[in-house]
């Protein structure tokens, strides 16, 4: 029986279905942590003398107490509506870039080029899907209204209404606010993620040469480790991006000027720790999220290939 390295690449339809299923499961499991992260990044707690920043447990408890537990899922509609194209773009673009960067003689892609392919995939998904999806998601998550009170009408009722309102009042360009920071964050995330996942997977195969397929728990563990690397490397980028996407544009100012204003204001008022606000729930969301994505993706991909009566290569293997 051949190893995964000798198999044919998976088709786009398989990437779409398996990636969409993986992304949807990740969103359902991890959205509360993302909402807490966004609230922490937008919070000014700790900026006043003698006060301390509110931790992620306290932030979550405050949301539940004031706005009901369902408030932890604010913005879920925006995430779910974008997760299938996001995952399809991520997997398909990574495979394309990896193929273009492969050695023409051996067909193998070096570790350095895998990282570059990951950077390209992250940038592509940021521009094509992630930025507008996150602008809408953050606007919904930032609304501090109680879902238990029908008389308290929020500014944005749902993802569709948010898109309509943003375009009507602020223009289409608002959906792409923070695209440069989002691209930088996604690029570093996926560069580290793809590279670490593939190298750890190769190592697991070397330790277990008798296995043709790694069990799901190993895919999950490898995904957990690789998924934790991105948040630590780009937390300041993500925090500035969140505040930029929450704010309204200042007339006559460029995106770079707004980024610098936000960064300087954070440094002056809240100190260096403000750039790492929300890092705990972000790691707790991204790392398990990637574990879920990889485990579900591999499982669904395998099921599809078995139904098709043929085996195919893992997206992340050589």
pLDDT, one tens digit per residue, over 3-13 is: 444 445 556 67
Percent residues over pLDDT 70 in the chain: 89
Per-residue pLDDT band for 1 (boundaries 50, 70, 90) equals: very low
* pLDDT per residue as tens digits for the range 171-195: 999 999 989 989 998 999 899 999 9
Lowest mean pLDDT among 30-39, 159-168, 170-179, 309-318: 309-318
CB 85 within 8 A of CB 124: no
Angle, vertex CA 78, rays to CA 261 and CA 293, nearest 5: 100
| pLDDT given for residue 46 in this prediction | 67
The Cα–Cα gap between 95 and 313 comes to: 11
Q: DSSP letters of the chain?
A: ---GGGSPBPPHHHHHHHHHHHHHHHHHHHHHHHHHHHHHHH--TT-STT--PPPHHHHHHHHHHHH-GGGGGTTHHHHHHHHHHHHHHHHHHHHHHHHHHS-TTT----HHHHHHHHHHHHHHHIIIIIHHHHHHHHHHHT----TT-TTS--S--SHHHHHHHHHHHH-GGGGGTTHHHHHHHHHHHHHHHHHHHHHHHHHHHHH-TT-SS--HHHHHHHHHHHHTHHHHHHHHHHHHHHHHHHSPPPTT--HHHHHHHHHHHHHHHH-GGGGGTTHHHHHHHHHHHHHHHHHHHHHHHHHHHHHHT---B-TT--
Residue range 100-105: mean pLDDT, rounded: 90
| pLDDT given for residue 2 in this prediction | 41
pTM: 0.72
Residue range 94-116: mean pLDDT, rounded: 90
The Cα–Cα gap between 36 and 62 comes to: 10
Per-residue pLDDT band for 48 (boundaries 50, 70, 90) equals: low
Domains of the chain by range and CATH? 12-234 (1.50.40.10)
The Cα–Cα gap between 293 and 273 comes to: 30
The Cα–Cα gap between 45 and 222 comes to: 35
Residue range 36-54: mean pLDDT, rounded: 78
Q: DSSP letters of 252-300?
A: T--HHHHHHHHHHHHHHHH-GGGGGTTHHHHHHHHHHHHHHHHHHHHHH
Mean per-residue pLDDT of the chain: 84
Model confidence at 150: pLDDT above 70: no
Question: CA nearest 270: which of 38, 54, 36?
Answer: 54
* pLDDT per residue as tens digits for the range 237-277: 889 988 888 887 777 778 788 889 999 999 998 888 889 88
* pLDDT per residue as tens digits for the range 281-303: 888 878 888 888 888 888 888 88
Q: What is the largest CA-CA distance in the chain?
A: 67
Q: Which two tokens stand for residue 158?
A: 């749902």
Residue range 209-228: mean pLDDT, rounded: 89
Residue range 33-56: mean pLDDT, rounded: 80
Q: Which two tokens stand for residue 274?
A: 């403000």
Model confidence at 310: pLDDT above 60: no
Percent residues over pLDDT 90 in the chain: 32
| pLDDT given for residue 86 in this prediction | 86
| pLDDT given for residue 270 in this prediction | 87
CB 152 within 8 A of CB 71: no
């Amino acid at each position: 029986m051949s190893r995964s390295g000798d198999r044919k690449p998976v088709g786009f339809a398989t990437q779409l279905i398996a990636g969409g299923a993986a992304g949807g499961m990740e969103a359902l499991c991890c959205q509360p942590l993302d909402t807490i992260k966004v609230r922490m990044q937008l919070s000014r707690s700790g900026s006043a003398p003698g006060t301390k920043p509110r931790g992620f447990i306290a932030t979550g408890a405050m949301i539940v107490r004031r706005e009901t537990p369902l408030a932890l899922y604010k913005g879920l509609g925006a995430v779910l509506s974008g997760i299938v194209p996001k995952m399809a773009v991520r997997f398909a673009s990574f495979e394309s870039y990896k193929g273009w960067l492969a050695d023409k003689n051996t067909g193998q892609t070096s570790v350095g080029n895998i990282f570059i392919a990951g950077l390209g995939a992250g940038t592509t998904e940021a521009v094509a899907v992630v930025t507008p999806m996150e602008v809408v998601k953050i606007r919904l998550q930032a609304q501090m209204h109680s879902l238990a009170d029908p008389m308290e009408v929020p500014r944005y009722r749902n993802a569709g209404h948010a898109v309509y309102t943003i375009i009507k009042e602020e223009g289409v360009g608002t959906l792409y606010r923070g695209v440069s920071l989002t691209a930088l964050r996604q690029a570093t995330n996926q560069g580290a993620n793809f590279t670490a996942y593939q190298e750890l997977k190769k190592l697991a195969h070397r330790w277990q040469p008798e296995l043709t397929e790694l069990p799901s728990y190993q895919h999950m563990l490898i995904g957990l480790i690789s998924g934790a690397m991105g948040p630590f490397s780009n937390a300041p980028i993500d925090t500035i991006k969140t505040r930029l996407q929450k704010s309204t544009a200042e007339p006559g100012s460029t995106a770079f000027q707004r980024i610098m204003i936000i960064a300087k204001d954070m440094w002056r008022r809240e100190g260096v720790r403000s750039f790492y606000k929300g890092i705990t729930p972000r790691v707790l969301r991204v790392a398990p999220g990637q574990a879920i994505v990889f485990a579900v993706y591999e499982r669904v991909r395998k099921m599809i290939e078995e139904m098709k009566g043929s085996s195919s290569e893992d997206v992340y293997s050589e």
